[in-house]
Every structure is written in structure tokens, then in C-alpha cells.
Structure 1
Amino acid sequence: MTLYRADPKHGVAWITGGSSGIGRSLAKDLAAQGYVVAVTALDDDPIDTLVVETAQMPGHVTAYPCDVTDEKRMARTVAAIEKDLGPIVLAVFNAGSYIATAGEDLTVRGFRQSFDVNYFGIINGLVPVIERMRVRARGHIVLVGSVTAYFGWPTTAAYGGTKAAINILAESLKYDFDKMNVRIQVINPGFVDTPLTEKNLLPMPGLMPVNRASRRMARGIKSGGFEVTFPWRLCWGLKLLRILPRPFCRWVISTATRWKARPLNFDRKPPSE
């Protein structure tokens, strides 16, 4: 049996983190393909303008605001989308946040917030939507990771940790999802010019415009391969680097990011005893 691949004729595409950046651009791409697209972002994020921008496309966008860290509300959002628009056949879990994590300035809050949004924000939507896909015996799940999942980079102890966890999540679930006729993919983009990467303190080789990146995502979703990664020169170079000895890998990353020359910052006061 050929594993299911989503089609706009079959139902709805749902995107989390769709108010800006790559999620917003992907919503337009999917609407252009004819999907009815349910977009979820925080209540005060500007989804209404996206609805207007896609009004004349073959498909269209409908806003379903929700905080992905709210487990119960995410379940209600899934139920509302299916009640209003029809079955969710494609779920793209894209919501994410980046908190720079330097070794001399660690906070528990930064790690917890990163995992709450980037990892558990997926789980909170995946659990209710997969139950419906399981009953229908078909579905298509897309998890947005990052090339920072391949190995440790400076400042990405929290962010990269969540993206590595997302890759393991996808690999682990694939065994059973295949039996359920639910396709799962993980998308590991390189550096994309979005509000998220504006916070990045590192050099960003191969930085891609957001519309180009979303088109690559849309093509990857359509083709259905397990991992989608781009730009290929950067990503395959990193894959090669990953299999080399770790000390050499760390030397390359430290040199490329000029991190060795960066002074430690001890401005933050230690907690009082």
C-alpha cells in the first residue's frame, strides 16, 4: 500500500505559527495549491491580513488563534477546525521560538520556554489530531525542525535541543504511523530570513529569503520524503561534517562562527543566596 500523501481535495491543512515568517509564507503557498488552510498563532498576532491576502486564491486561509503551549485549548482548536472546515489531512507544526543560550548566562526559564513552545507545542496539537487521523486511517504530519539538530552550535543549547528532540520524535513515530497510513515528515531548513533569525548572533551562511524557503517546504511536502532539508549545499555539508570526529567538528564550528574570539559576558548578577 502506498503511504498517504495529503491532497487539497481531501480536506484541510492546518499550520501552527502561521502569522509571520515561514509559516505565513507556507500558508499562502498551500492556499495557492487549493487548500483550505487553518492558521494558528497567538491571539494578538496579525492573521487577519493573511486572510485578506489569500481571499482570491484557489484556496483560502481561516484564522484559529491559540497558544500552542495550552494543551486543552489546542485540543479544542482541532475540534473547531474539523467542525467548521472539515477533516485535517495535513498538519504542519511550525510554531517556534529562539532564545539565545550562552553558557555563562543560563536560566531554567529559557530552556523551559523553548521546550514548551518548540516541542510540547507540537505534542499539544499532535495528540488530538493524530487520534482523528487514526480513525480515518489516513493523514499527513509535518514537523519543522532545523539543521541545528545535527550537532551543537554556540547559543543553541535550548533551541537546538528542541530541534534534535523533534527529529527523534519523527523518527520514532514513523514506525507506527506508517502502519496507520499517516505520513510523517521532518523539515530541517538552514537559515531563513525571518523575525526568528534576526535574533541570531551567529553568521548565517546560505541565508534564504522566506518565500523561497516556503516554496521548498511546499515542494517537499508534496513529494513526501521523510526528511526535507535545504539549501542543499549547506545542509549536505553539515551532514558530512556530522560524521567526522567530534573534535574536528567542534573546531570547524568554532572557527566558522568566530566563537573562540568572543569574550565571555559576566554582566548578569548571580542569584542571591
Structure 2
Amino acid sequence: MSHNPPLTDWHGKTVWLLGASSGIGEATAHALHAQGARVVVSARNAAALDAFARTHAGAVALPLDVTDPAAVRAAAQTVLAGGTLDLVLYCAGYYKAMRATGFDLAGMLRHQQVNYVGALYLLDAVLPALLQRGSGHISLTGSVAGYRGLPNSLAYGPTKAALINLAETLYLDLQGSGIGVSIVNPGFVETPLTAQNSFSMPALLTPAQAAAEILAGWARGEFEIHFPKRFTRWMKTLRVLPHALYFPAIRKFTGL
């Protein structure tokens, strides 16, 4: 049984993607446009959004900073005024490797503002309209880094763990309301964020492959869309290990 109403026909549907100037967000916007959706793209990089809109007929560029609640609210009002909002994807992300020995409060808070608090600003701006209409879909981009604590993920991991918990609770609260909720938990995808990693990334996907997985997950009505399975299933196994086994396993696999 599907967890959410399956999303298979995108023709004439309006989708709003936040964090769509590069990586997974841009690739998903491209894939949705190819399926006939009316795509609204947001991010800070106005030039990248304008380039996307020029090459995707009917697409709308709405530049904004997700850490600015007034900007998110104003953009949401513009999107909602344009008609029915059928799906919103929050994929704005910030990542810098950090370990406790190099604890940086400003960096910790920057991750929190972009990765998590921005999603709260979005919910505040769109949830009342979706509830009033009794339809639509909210999708948040988490990460397998949110499953359990990992070295180098001191700032990033907790924000993704928070998004996973938020999505689970939203799903429970909104079930039966007509509103779908999904969490996207990718493994490693070739993006500007992962380009910073100096280690070998197993099962690395292109953004286009990630976008295809996301659309397939929405079509199946899945709550959690995780990929690539050959990597994420291994991460899920680690998730259920007791701490006495988990910590040594992570040290062995990462060398950290």
C-alpha cells in the first residue's frame, strides 16, 4: 500500500523547489519540467535560476535566501497566487566537514539555519494554504548522514536527523488530510557540496540519477525515498546496531 497519494502525472502541476540552482534541486527541476510540470525554482543564485528559466519554457525563477523568513513568505505568496501548489521540495543545503576538535559555533549555526530552520520558514509559509485546500505534497531532503552520528558530520548530520524526525511527525499529523509528505535521503551524489570531500565516496550518483530516483519514489507514494539502495541499505543496517558494535564499525570503515 502506498504511503502517500502517488504522483505520476505532472502535466499542469505546479512544483516549487528551494535550493534549485545546482545539484539535486536543479536536476529534479529539470526532470519535473520534462514531465510537463510548471516549475518554480528558488535559491540565492539568481543568475543560475535565470539561466534555468531561459532554457525551460514556462519555468519561473524566484531568487531568495532560505534563512530570510520574510523572503520565503513573500515568495510563497507569489507561488500560491499563481494557482494550486501541488508539490514543494526543500533541498537547500549547506555542508562543511567538522569534527569536535575544530568546533565552530558560527559554522554549526549556519548549517542549522540553511538545512533546518529554512524548512520551518517554508512550512510556516505554505502549510496553512495546503491544509485549507486539503491537497498537495511536502518533500524534505535529508541524508543518510542523518541516520546516526558520523565523523566529519558534527555540523551537518544533526540537521539532517532533525529533518528526518520532522518529516516523520509531519506525515503522522497530516495523514488523512490529503497532503502527502516525503523525506529524501540520498547517499553520495556528485554535487558542489560533496565535491569538498577528500575521501572516496561509495556508490556515487549523478544529480540526474538522483532526480530519477526521487520522481520514481513520488510515483510509488513512498514516504522515505532513499538511494542508491546498494549503499543506503548498508547504512540502514548500521542504523540498528547497538552502540557497542556501531562505534567500532564506523571507526573501521572510516578510519576516523
Which category of TM-score, normalised to the shorter sequence, fits these structures?
over 0.9
Q: Deviation digits for residues 172-220 of structure 1, max 9, x if unmatched?
A: 1112211321110001000000001012244311111111111111111
CA contact (8 A) 2:12 2:37 kept: no
Once the two structures are superposed, the pairs formed by residues 183-198 of structure 1 within 5 Å of their partners are 183-198=180-195
Does 1:138 find its partner at 2:140?
Answer: no
Does 1:12 find its partner at 2:10?
Answer: no
Q: 1:116 aligns with which of 106, 113, 129?
A: 113
CA contact (8 A) 2:21 2:45 kept: no
Once the two structures are superposed, the pairs formed by residues 106-255 of structure 1 within 5 Å of their partners are 106-255=103-252
Q: 1:80 aligns with which of 78, 81, 106?
A: 78
* Shift in CA distance, 232/178, structure 1 to aligned 2, threshold 3 Å: same
CA contact (8 A) 1:92 1:141 kept: yes
Range with bigger deviation, 73-82 or 173-182:
173-182
- Partner-residue secondary structure (3-state), 2:102: coil
CA distance in structure 1 between the partners assigned to 2:178 and 2:198 by the alignment: 41
CA contact (8 A) 1:10 1:89 kept: no
Q: Deviation digits for residues 2-50 of structure 1, max 9, x if unmatched?
A: 9544553563100000000110000000001111010000054511121
Give the Å deviation of 1:233.
1.1
Tell me, which stretches of 5 or more residues in structure 2 are unaligned?
none
* Shift in CA distance, 52/45, structure 1 to aligned 2, threshold 3 Å: closer
Aligned-pair identity (%): 35
Letter paired with 2:72: M
Q: 2:254 aligns with which of 246, 252, 257?
A: 257
- Partner-residue secondary structure (3-state), 2:98: coil
CA distance in structure 2 between the partners assigned to 1:45 and 1:114 by the alignment: 23
CA contact (8 A) 1:51 1:62 kept: yes
CA distance in structure 2 between the partners assigned to 1:76 and 1:129 by the alignment: 11
Letter paired with 1:97: Y
Q: 1:100 aligns with which of 88, 97, 100?
A: 97
Tell me, which stretches of 5 or more residues in structure 1 are unaligned?
260-273
Ranges of 4+ aligned residues in structure 1 off by more than 4 Å: none
CA contact (8 A) 2:111 2:155 kept: yes
CA distance in structure 1 between the partners assigned to 2:11 and 2:132 by the alignment: 19
The alignment yields a C-alpha RMSD, in angstroms, of: 1.6
Letter paired with 2:59: V
Q: 2:59 aligns with which of 58, 61, 64?
A: 61
Paired position in structure 2 for 1:90? 87
Paired position in structure 2 for 1:25? 27
Structure with greater helix share of residues? 2
CA distance in structure 2 between the partners assigned to 1:138 and 1:70 by the alignment: 26
Aligned length: 253
Paired position in structure 2 for 1:270? none
Q: Deviation digits for residues 89-133 of structure 1, max 9, x if unmatched?
A: 100011010021112111111111001000011111111111110
Letter paired with 2:126: V
* Shift in CA distance, 45/120, structure 1 to aligned 2, threshold 3 Å: farther
Give the Å deviation of 1:145.
0.3
With the length of structure 1 as denominator, give the TM-score of the two structures.
0.88
- Larger Rg computed on CA atoms: 1
Q: Deviation digits for residues 138-182 of structure 1, max 9, x if unmatched?
A: 111101000001111111111110000000001111122113211
